[in-house]
Amino acid sequence: MNPLDYFFYRVYKSKHRRNPDEMDCFVYSVLVMMAITFFNLLTLSIFLQRKAVIPDLINSKTTVVVINFLILIFYSWYFYSNRRYR
């Protein structure tokens, strides 16, 4: 099993125990996955900027919104396309 799928499954099931509504659990799980992925990318970006490997990539609010939106679209498509959340 893919670690990404497994982590999504664990987040989904933990929310599903408290609230059995399927779509709420799906949206919650996708948002948690998006936040974790964004913070990982942000940490990597800060580390590479400190080492002067790359220029400042995340320097405005619009960049943050665009990156989060792209991550959200990817995770929504990935998990909802084959009903992986079931």
- pLDDT (tens digit, 9 = 90+) per residue, 20-34? 887 888 889 999 999
- For residue 57, is pLDDT > 80? no
Does 86 reside within a domain? no
What is the tally of structural domains in the chain?
1
Domain that residue 11 falls in: 3-81
- Least-confidence region, from 3-7, 8-12, 40-44, 54-58: 54-58
- For residue 86, is pLDDT > 70? no
Q: How high is the mean pLDDT of the chain?
A: 84
Predicted structure pTM score: 0.78
HEC sequence for the chain: CCHHHHHHHHHHHHHHHHCCCHHHHHHHHHHHHHHHHHHHHHHHHHHHHHCCCCCCCCCCHHHHHHHHHHHHHHHHHHHHHCCCCC
Does 22 reside within a domain? yes
Does 20 reside within a domain? yes
